[in-house]
């Protein structure tokens, strides 16, 4: 780890080269890191290893990037990325974890509380919030609803999930690998998908809702008690 004198020297050289660092607080950038001009580095950001940041990006606050490439015009807010490639125009965060061997294509949106691992995410796809996408190949213009999981591990083997171009993955869907969701296919919210979904199809994998009329009055011990 570099000492504080070395840290400040690196930051001053970056500012002289056209990088914008409005406040040096908590910023650590190692000597092998390259940051192109026009990029803004915000407080709490740590860039380590052989990392390359393109032009006109915004990195931070509180981002950690190691041995990764980030292309031009991307914004990584409170994002951790390891040994991965992040394309141009990507927005990520806050609270995003990009684990090793990910390839995030241009104009992908990764929202809050999302983890991506050993996966490819193609152009224009959206992973908005509360997701785990692991060991997956996601096509172009795919949309994941809130709370989806690619179920990649059965306790012994890790398998891949494929989601093809234009698919829509409904909220709280579990995709149990190995499984493929076809082009422009939909999964209904709350489904656990264990079989391939054909192109242009809707997959519904959940039990039908039942209404038990007057159940609360019949099962009086279960009736809510008012707390004063």
Within-domain flag for 106: yes
Residue 87 near residue 69, CB atoms below 8 Å: no
Domain assignment of residue 47, yes or no: yes
Does the residue 179 lie in any domain? yes
Provide the b/e sequence for 12-45 (b: ≥16 CB within 10 Å).
eebeeeebebeeeeebbbbeebebbeebbbbebb
Segments forming the whole domain that contains residue 193: 4-222
Tokens read off for 211 = 């209404």
Domain-embedded: residue 122: yes
Catalytic residue among 12, 97, 129, 226: 129
Note the pTM of the prediction, 2 decimals: 0.93
Please check whether residue 123 lies inside any domain of the structure. yes
Question: What is the CATH classification number for the domain harbouring 185?
Answer: 2.160.10.10
Residue 227 domain flag:
no
* 129 belongs to the catalytic site: yes
Instruction: Convert the pLDDT of each residue in 54-73 to its tens digit.
Output: 999 999 999 999 999 999 99
20 lies in some domain: yes
Q: What's the pLDDT tens digit per position in 160-210?
A: 999 999 999 999 999 999 999 999 999 999 999 999 999 999 999 998 889
In this structure, is residue 92 part of a structural domain? Answer: yes
């Amino acid at each position: 780890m570099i000492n504080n004198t070395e840290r400040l020297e690196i930051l001053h050289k970056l500012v002289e080269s056209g990088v914008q660092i409005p406040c040096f607080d908590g910023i650590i950038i190692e000597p092998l890191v390259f940051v192109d001009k026009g990029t803004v580095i915000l407080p709490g950001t740590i860039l380590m290893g052989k990392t390359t940041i393109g032009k006109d990006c915004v990195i931070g606050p509180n981002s950690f990037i190691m041995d990764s490439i980030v292309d031009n015009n991307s914004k990584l807010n409170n994002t951790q990325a390891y040994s991965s490639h992040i394309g141009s125009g990507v927005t990520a965060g806050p609270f995003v974890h990009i684990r090793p061997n990910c390839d995030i294509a241009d104009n992908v949106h990764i929202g809050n509380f999302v983890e991506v691992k050993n996966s490819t995410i193609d152009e224009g796809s959206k992973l908005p919030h509360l997701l785990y996408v692991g060991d997956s190949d996601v096509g172009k213009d795919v949309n994941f609803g809130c709370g989806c999981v690619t179920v990649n591990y059965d306790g012994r083997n890790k398998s891949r999930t494929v989601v093809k171009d234009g698919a829509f993955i409904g909220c709280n869907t579990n995709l149990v690998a190995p499984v493929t969701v076809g082009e422009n296919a939909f999964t209904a919210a709350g489904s656990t998908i264990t079989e391939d979904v054909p192109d242009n199809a809707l997959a519904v994998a959940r039990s039908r809702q039942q209404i038990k009329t007057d159940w609360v009055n019949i099962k009086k011990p279960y009736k809510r008690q008012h707390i004063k």
